[in-house]
Amino acid sequence: MITENNVSAIIGPNCNFPAISFGAIANFYKVPFFPWGLATTRALEDQDRFRTVATLNAGSYGLGVALHETMRHFGWTDFAFVYSTVGESDKCSILKEDVEKAVSDFNDDIQISFFYEFPEYAISQTETTRLLRLLKTRARIFTVCLSDEMGIKRDFALSLIDAGMMNDEYVYIFVDPRTRGYVTQEDGILMDVWVDRYGSKEGRDEEAKKVFQRIFILTDLIPDGANYTQFGKDVIRRIADPPFNCISNCSDPRYKIPAVYAGQLHDALYLYALALNKTLSSNPDMYNDGTTIMYNSDETFTGWSGEVEINKNGTRSPTFYLFSLDRNGETITQGNVFVDGNTAIFTVSYKSESDLWWNRAGFARPLTEPICGFKGDNCPLTWDQQYLGIVLGACSVVLFMGVCLIMLGIYFYISKQRENERSDKLWEVSSLSLVKAKSKAGMESMRSLQSGPSTTSTKMTIESKKDSLHYGFFVYNREIVVASKYSSRVPMIEENRVEMRMLRLIEHDNLNRFIGLSTDGSQMMSIWKYCSRGSLQDVIKQGKISLDAFFIYSIVRDIINGLNYIHHSPLISHGNISSECCLVDERWVVKISYYGLHWIRSHEKRRKKDLLWTAPEHLRNDDIFGSKEGDIYSYAIVASEVITKSSPWDLENRKERPEEIIYMLKKGGDAPLRPTLTLGENMDMNPAMLHLIRDCWSENPGDRPTSDTIKSLLRSMHSGRSDNLMDHVFNMMENYAGSLEEEVEARTRELVEEKKKSDVLLYRMLPK
């Protein structure tokens, strides 16, 4: 035909092995070749061997890639491939080879567990049932390739019922390069695939339908719809026209419906026409050159076989569709798989995956392997079988352990109660154990410091301290203590006892030690260690010491150290910092006192002058608990007292009374009222100290530095120098002693000179 009839192109054949032979000949003579129909073998995609071939069908290899992607989408890793060559000799055998090749090319965890070809003698329903019973022990996901002819698919479906393979564990996917889906053709009549084509009246059509409602079909686009119906009518009508002239032979009822591949034949001719037009417009002399025609076949169009997309290699990039039946037996599309070479994309069409499993219990997707295994002999033991003995033993152990735990819990509870009672005894102070001092004997304590030439020795005793409305002085366990008195008597609850135990354990160089609480006397009193030099307010008021820059640094450093400890402890904040609660011991170490006990202080009426140290935000909210930021503000007020060596807000030299100051503090404003920081003469104070104090009493609590920041800044202000106050005092004393010695020597020399003058004068006055 090529050499004698000068054939320009070959359309077909539509079978695999003839197509391979035609392709080799066409390649030799460089004639364009367009196979269609069942010519699906992957061999035709070999461009080195078939350079003039452009395939119109959806190849078997592409169907294998689509099948692999479907398995991956549903999470199935093992499946079986069963097929039969009865009816269409090479369709399923070629498909089997290409599916095996496609799955193995991915080299992943998806694999074909086994292949099985039904022999020709086993095509009967009875024999198929027998063989299926053997196969059910090896897989639950089955891919099936069968002919559309002879009712083979219906017989297979009924065999599944007879073999007991239609429970919810099984999945069946019919794979076919081209099929009518759930419809078959018999004598020119289309009928549902589950209908008995022989009219044997066996009465199993409804059973078969239910089986097909559990079977998926993965194939190229099913020829269907009104347009395709009209196309079919046109094919049948024109088959009688030249050049076919099929009149008498085509009048048989079997030919009332066009073949399922008719659309592909149309698309093959249409593709050749498109490629030929492109060739004639670009290079007319190459109109019958197969390589050029194939190169120009790179086209995309909508044909009667679906969307046609031919790539540069002359291979169709197909889209396969996953079909199923709904409750009414209507075909619905559940998804599609676009294939391009070894790449596939699965796109779902269902709204919810449960729509796929509407006829299965729980709408659940079947597993690759059942829980009990393929043979059903690997079922996990029932709960009773597996765990009853363990549970009984465990219950016995738990019961025993429960009794032990209860007894242990009771023991620990009693032990804890006893421990708490012992701990409570540490802070519980009986009023009978608080003794008033009656004489100076054994009570005197010399506490003196020479801070300069103007300071003299002072002796402070417990008798010099007088009880007041808020404070009392006692001897407790041969130790001088100070008692803070409360006008209210607050009931003691467990939460308060926990706080008392915690306060009793606090130890810090700059926190005055809490000794306990006295609740059995006429007044509730908190007991604290006595500091011999009194409060910082007392020290400033007496004015008997010279507060130089280092002295001031030491005081503010001690206060912030104690405050920092409180801020990092469960107490969180002091809430009542003032120069009255900052006590000074015999070594001039400042210790913060009267911390904690908010549950008592909340019932006490606060004096107006006590509010002079309170932050404005707490004054406005009448907050007695305070905060860390409020403590920093109070710290700044105390620091201003130390620097200016005056009372808070220098009340003696102000015209405002405490009530007026508190009112102005609550009012705030752009220029809020604050103490005046005036340094004394010859005061060598680091200016950064004053800036720090002003930052600490900022109106906005968020602008105030934290105790950690203040500690760091104070450390940087005094870097490289000794932090020991006593060393500083001793240095001052040594310097004073040295200057005193020099002054004595100078006076002695003056005395000697005066004596000499007196001797001379006396010598002149006496008679010679």
Model pLDDT for residues 546-580, shown as the tens digit of each residue: 677 888 889 999 999 999 999 999 999 999 999 99
Of 470, 487, 645, which Cα lies nearest the Cα of 551? 645
**Residue 445 pLDDT grade (very low, low, confident, very high; cuts 50, 70, 90):** very low
Residue 253: is the preceding peptide bond cis (ω within 30°)?
no
- Residue 463's pLDDT band, with cuts at 50, 70 and 90, is low
Q: Is the pLDDT of residue 608 over 70?
A: yes
Res. 65: pLDDT tops 60: yes
Residues 384-400 have a mean pLDDT of 86
Q: Taking residues 20-46, report their average pLDDT.
A: 83
What local confidence, expressed as pLDDT, does residue 29 receive?
81
| Mean pLDDT, residues 144-151 taken together | 86
**pLDDT confidence of residue 286:** 86
For β-strands 582-584 and 111-117, DSSP reports them as unpaired
pLDDT value for 138:
87
Secondary structure (3-state) at 69: helix
Are 122 and 151 in contact by the 8 Å Cβ rule? The answer is no
pLDDT for position 767: 67
pLDDT classification of 39: cutoffs 50, 70, 90: confident
Residue pair 612/636 in contact by the 8 Å Cβ criterion: no
CA distances from 32 to 166, 262, 290 (A): 48, 20, 4
Average pLDDT of the segment spanning 642-664: 89
**450, pLDDT greater than 50:** no
Distance between CA 403 and CA 409 in Å, rounded?
A: 10
- Answer whether 314's CB lies under 8 Å from 297's CB: yes
pLDDT of residue 569: 94
pLDDT of res. 525:
94
Cα 313 to Cα 476: distance, rounded to the nearest angstrom: 105
pLDDT of residue 641: 92
What pLDDT score was predicted for residue 542? 83
What's the mean per-residue pLDDT of the chain? Answer: 84
Closest C-alpha among 204, 262, 268 to residue 228: 262
Reply yes or no on whether the pLDDT at 200 is more than 80: no
- Distance, CA of 210 to CA of 161 (rounded, Å): 10
Query: What is the structure's pLDDT at 515?
Result: 94
Q: What is the pLDDT of residue 264?
A: 80
* Count of all residues that appear for the chain in the document: 768
Neighbours of 750 (CB within 10 A): 10
What is the mean predicted confidence (pLDDT) over 201-207? Answer: 84
Question: Residue 693: is its pLDDT beyond 70?
Answer: yes
Choose the weakest-confidence range: 439-453, 467-481, 552-566, 745-759: 439-453
Pair of tokens at residue 51: 């350079």
Candidate ranges 555-559, 654-658, 665-669; pick with highest mean pLDDT: 555-559
434 SS3 class: coil
Q: Residue 191 gets which letter from DSSP?
A: E
Average pLDDT for 209-226: 84
Q: Which residue has the higher pLDDT, 346 or 122?
A: 346
Q: What is the pLDDT of residue 188?
A: 65
Mean pLDDT check: name the lowest of 274-288, 318-332, 713-727: 713-727
Predicted local confidence at residue 152, as pLDDT: 87
pLDDT of residue 735: 66
The pLDDT of residue 719 is above 70? no
Cα 279 to Cα 287: distance, rounded to the nearest angstrom: 6
How far apart (Å, rounded) are the C-alpha atoms in residues 653 and 753? Answer: 51
Residue among 533, 536, 524, 449 nearest 492 (CA):
524
Alpha helices in 82-179 (DSSP H): 91-106, 125-135, 152-162
The pLDDT of residue 22 = 87
Distances, alpha carbon 310 to alpha carbons 287, 293, 302, 413, 733, in Å:
19, 12, 12, 84, 107
- Angstrom distance (rounded) from CA 172 to CA 614: 83
Q: In this model, does residue 704 exceed pLDDT 90?
A: yes
pLDDT, tens digit, 9 for 90 and up, residues 218-259: 998 766 666 677 887 888 888 888 887 888 777 777 777 777
Per-residue pLDDT for 528 more than 60? yes
Who wins on pLDDT, 767 or 248?
A: 248
Whether 2 has a pLDDT exceeding 50, the answer reads yes
Q: Which segment of 113-117, 411-415, 723-727 scores lowest on mean pLDDT?
A: 723-727
Compare 24 and 439 and report the one with higher pLDDT.
24
> For 143-147, 292-296, 425-429, which range has the lowest pLDDT when averaged over its residues?
292-296
Distance, CA of 596 to CA of 515 (rounded, Å): 13
Q: CB under 8 Å to 550, separation ≥6 — which residues?
A: 725, 728
pLDDT score at 728:
65
Residue 474 contacts residue 436 (beta carbons within 8 Å):
yes
Per-residue pLDDT at 524 exceeds 60: yes
Residue 598 or residue 250, greater confidence: 598
SS3 call for 218: strand
Which residues on neighbouring strands pair with residue 191, listed in sequence order?
Answer: 184
Q: Which pLDDT tens digit goes with each residue over 287-307?
A: 788 888 888 888 888 877 777
Of 356-360, 675-679, 682-686, where does the model show the most confidence?
356-360
Highest mean pLDDT among 26-30, 48-52, 424-428, 554-558: 554-558
Q: Residue 252: CB partners within 8 Å, gap ≥ 6? A: 188
